[in-house]
């Protein structure tokens, strides 16, 4: 089990991580999300042992991560860290970059193992190409294959698909994450992309300004976000006064509603006038405005006529679940 206990870290005098604590079991996939500058990459570096912590500790089972003040070469051999810098050997081939990290005691199986790993990241066709001639996305996939070569117990991924073309991301996610789950490798992915999170991460940890503001099962974080900041990390969200939805409500509380959760009605509900239609592929994100001046975003299968009046409803159990407490 990975145990992160009250870790804090500062660059010079600027705090970047503040009292972060969580534990993670073997084979669990944790997504770390937050806005740019929230501390995601720094947290991965701290866990890997690249930083000297101001306070706290990191343990994997009985092993303590000691950091650069104790290790001549920082980083633990039971972990692999894939940074946004890739750190590949540019003048050797893709296959050679991967094979370099395989055991010298299993030379006879290197070729088949390299072939398996390159297949996992869709790089078989580029096995003999020199790294210096690869695109950014191809380098990123090569770095992922190299990190998988020794089947470490923990894999730390920092924005693992940021340089990869959109159409390749979908294929790679569906190959890589099930592979890691099958191998029971504990994974921590720092990402800003909700597509990396919702379908694949078991748990989510949310950072804001270096503080840990939420940690729970992925669906729980999505269904019951503590505030608009957390909900917005998954995409567009509405923060609406409850009195807009329930006219006679006796509270000034607000409610978080994702666009797809509204139900359209021809006769009753919140009156909204259509302002804009935004094509999203299989649906439209529609921007409207209520009589109160409140802008509302909702989803619909087709575009609506601008200035048309529609009625929006929210199931009462959803209103109760999403009501903000402060």
Q: Which of the pair, 156 or 140, is modelled with greater confidence?
A: 156
Distance CA 218, CA 157 (A): 18
Q: Greatest CA separation found in the chain?
A: 75
Report pLDDT for 212. 97
Same domain, 263 and 309: yes
Same domain, 164 and 28: yes
Tell whether the model's pLDDT for residue 88 goes beyond 90. Answer: no
Same domain, 221 and 312: no
Instruction: Provide the number of structural domains found in the chain.
Output: 2
Contact 322, 307 (CB under 8 A): no
Q: Which residue, 201, 230, 259, sits at the end of a domain?
A: 230
Contact 152, 79 (CB under 8 A): yes
Same domain, 22 and 124: yes
Looking at mean pLDDT, say which of 21-35, 88-102, 231-245, 312-326 comes out highest.
Answer: 21-35
Contact 39, 17 (CB under 8 A): yes
Same domain, 204 and 246: no
To the nearest whole percent, how much of the chain has pLDDT over 90? 51
Tell whether the model's pLDDT for residue 283 goes beyond 50. Answer: yes
Same domain, 219 and 286: no
Q: Which residue, 230, 255, 276, sits at the end of a domain?
A: 230
Report pLDDT for 107. 62
Report pLDDT for 275. 97
Query: What pLDDT, in 10s, does the model give residues 215-232?
Result: 999 999 999 999 999 999
Q: Is the pTM of this model over 0.85?
A: yes
Q: Which residue, 230, 248, 270, sits at the end of a domain?
A: 230
Report pLDDT for 104. 53
- Domain with 280 in it: 238-322
Q: Which positions ≥6 away from 104 have C-beta within 8 Å?
A: none
Q: Which of the pair, 215 or 152, is modelled with greater confidence?
A: 215
Out of 145-154, 186-195, 199-208, 244-253, pick the least confident: 244-253
> Please, what is the average pLDDT of the chain?
89
Question: Residue 86's domain is classified under what CATH number?
Answer: 3.40.50.300
For residues 161-183, give the mean pLDDT: 86
Report pLDDT for 117. 86
Distance CA 169, CA 209 (A): 28
Q: Which two tokens stand for residue 201?
A: 């991460």
Report pLDDT for 106. 58
Same domain, 170 and 120: yes
Q: Which residues pair with 299 in a beta bridge?
A: 285
Same domain, 163 and 214: yes
Question: Residue 283's domain is classified under what CATH number?
Answer: 2.40.50.140
Same domain, 204 and 285: no
Assign residue 19 a region: left if phi > 0, alpha if psi is -120 to 50, beta otherwise? left
Tell whether the model's pLDDT for residue 109 goes beyond 70. Answer: no
Report residue 258: phi and psi, to 5°. Answer: -80, 150
Q: Which positions ≥6 away from 185 have C-beta within 8 Å?
A: 27, 151, 152, 153, 154, 155
Same domain, 203 and 273: no
Contact 272, 290 (CB under 8 A): yes
Burial 261-294 (b: 16+ CB within 10 A, else e): bbebeeeebbebebeebeeeeeebbbbbebeeee
Query: What pLDDT, in 10s, does the model give residues 286-315?
Result: 999 998 899 999 999 999 999 999 999 998
């Amino acid at each position: 089990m990975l145990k992160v206990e009250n870790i804090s870290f500062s660059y010079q005098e600027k705090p970047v991580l503040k009292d972060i604590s969580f534990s993670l079991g073997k084979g669990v996939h944790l997504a770390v999300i937050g806005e740019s500058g929230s501390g995601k990459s720094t947290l991965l570096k701290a866990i890997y042992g690249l930083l000297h912590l101001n306070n706290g500790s990191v343990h994997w089972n009985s092993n303590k991560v000691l950091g650069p003040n104790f290790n001549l070469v920082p980083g633990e051999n039971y972990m692999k860290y894939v940074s946004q810098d890739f750190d590949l050997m540019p003048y050797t081939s893709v296959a050679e970059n991967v094979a370099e990290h395989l055991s010298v005691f299993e030379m006879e199986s290197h070729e088949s193992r390299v072939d398996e790993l390159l297949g996992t990241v869709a790089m078989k066709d580029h096995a003999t190409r020199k790294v210096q001639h690869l695109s950014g996305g191809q380098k990123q996939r090569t770095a992922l294959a190299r990190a998988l070569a020794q089947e470490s117990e923990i894999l730390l991924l920092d924005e693992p698909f940021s340089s990869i073309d959109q159409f390749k991301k979908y294929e790679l996610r569906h190959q890589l994450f099930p592979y890691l789950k099958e191998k029971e490798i504990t994974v921590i992915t720092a990402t800003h992309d909700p597509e990396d999170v919702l379908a694949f991460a078991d748990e989510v940890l949310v950072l804001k300004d270096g503080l840990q503001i939420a940690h729970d099962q992925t669906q729980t974080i999505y269904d019951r976000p503590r505030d608009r900041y957390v909900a917005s990390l998954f995409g567009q969200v509405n923060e609406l006064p409850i009195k807009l939805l329930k006219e006679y409500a006796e509270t000034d509380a607000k409610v978080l509603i994702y666009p797809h959760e509204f139900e359209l009605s021809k006769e009753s509900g919140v009156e909204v006038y259509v302002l804009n239609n935004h094509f999203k592929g299989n649906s439209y994100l529609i921007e409207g405005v209520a009589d109160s001046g409140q802008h509302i975003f909702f989803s619909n299968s087709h575009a609506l006529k601008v200035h048309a009046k529609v009625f929006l409803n929210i199931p009462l159990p959803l209103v109760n679940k999403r009501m903000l407490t402060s």
